[in-house]
Amino acid sequence: MIKHLRSAADLDAPTATLILDTAAEMAALAGREVKKLPTLRGRTVVNLFYEDSTRTRISFEAAAKRLSADVINFSAKGSSVSKGESLKDTALTLQAMGADAVVIRHPASGAPHRLAAWVDGSVVNAGDGTHEHPTQALLDAYTMRSRLGRLDGLRVAIVGDVLHSRVARSNVLLLTTLGAQVTLVGPPTLIPLDVSAALSPSTKVSYDLDSVLPDMDVVMMLRVQTERMQDSYFPSAREYSRRYGLDLARMRKLPEHAIVMHPGPMNRGMEITPEVADSSRSTIVEQVANGVSARMAVLYLLLGGKA
């Protein structure tokens, strides 16, 4: 088993499959009255969040607690970080407290890589800048596999603000490792030019959502991340929705079995309409539930559990 999960590229197909299979076992636990396993009793998991988060943070906390670990939640707001303490000094503090795993979300791409050099425990990337978010990719892959029965050969469109999306990057890496065919869709200004060279040669690009939809098994809508935009990448929100937003009329172009995903948080009315987000094809709430199982599997396996 690997020691850290910093990037979806850390996972080869057998390791990723082992995590997904373990997540399925963890999910079975969620149906029980007592949702707890003793496996990580006496181990300490630190959640180190330098950036806002709702789902990911709660999900990692629930995952660690369901495995009986001691959980320490650290948020940059209200800590000595606001007094200017560096990531390295914070890491040394955690090291002194004997953290077995550190889950980190940070606005700087690469922060988890630096952290791994300063602590003895396992480092799990919970989102670093515009770089990666590997556990999101795992919970997405888990959701696709449980809804559609397989990943190999699955046709997945990832739509919208690919340029700023760590979710897209990790998904491309993991999905291609597991044999899915990914098509990135969005305005040319929001799709990195070097996408296939940088990520995977089999990844396709399209600027025309309507023409792509009839061939897809999965359509994953991304949030338009205006907080990461210094320039204007499209004429107006209305224009963006008209070309790249998923509404009911567009959703009907998908094959009958296809599912609609979104990592959250959503801009309802921008990249996805409320009718689509709340429709029976949407797996958005399921993704959140699956996130706990996927993160339980990751913590369990990284901290030395057996499948």
Residues making up the annotated binding site for L-aspartate are 83, 166, 223
Strand partners, 101: 45, 122
Annotated binding-site ranges:
55-56, 83, 105, 133, 136, 166, 223, 264-265
Give the residue at shortest CB distance from ligand NCD: 223
Can you tell me which residue has the tokens 């797996």? Answer: 283
Quote the CA–CA distance of 136 and 139 in Å, as a whole number: 5
Min dist CB 302 to ligand NCD, Å, is 19
The H or E element containing residue 102 is: strand 101-106
121 binds ligand NCD (CB under 6 A): no
In this structure, what token pair is assigned to residue 14? Answer: 């057998």
Residue 66 binds ligand NCD (CB under 6 A): no
Cα distances (angstroms) measured from residue 228 to each of 58, 73, 80, 82, 129: 23, 26, 25, 21, 9
**Binding of residue 127 to ligand NCD (CB under 6 A):** yes
The nearer residue to ligand NCD, 110 or 264, going by C-beta atoms, is 264
Binding residue for ligand NCD, selected from 66, 106, 169, 223, defined by CB under 6 A? 223
Please report whether residue 136 would count as binding ligand NCD according to CB under 6 A. yes
Token output for 125 = 């990337």
Do β-strands 101-106 and 204-206 pair in parallel, antiparallel, or remain unpaired? unpaired
Is the separation of the CB atoms in 71 and 65 below 8 Å?
Answer: yes
Look up residue 290 and give its DSSP letter.
H
Q: Which is nearer to ligand NCD, 121 or 127 (CB)?
A: 127
Q: Is 166 in the site for ligand NCD (CB under 6 A)?
A: yes
Determine if 55 is a binding residue for ligand NCD (CB under 6 A). Answer: yes
Q: Site for ligand NCD (CB under 6 A): which residue of 167, 190, 191, 195?
A: 167
Instruction: Give the three-class secondary structure for 67.
Output: coil
On whether the CB atoms of residues 156 and 116 are closer than 8 A, the answer is no
Active site residues: 55-56, 83, 105, 133
- In the complex with ligand NCD, which residue's Cβ is closer, 108 or 249? 108
Nearer to ligand NCD, 90 or 267 (CB): 267
The residues binding ligand NCD (CB under 6 A) are 55-56, 127, 133, 136, 166-167, 223, 225, 263-264
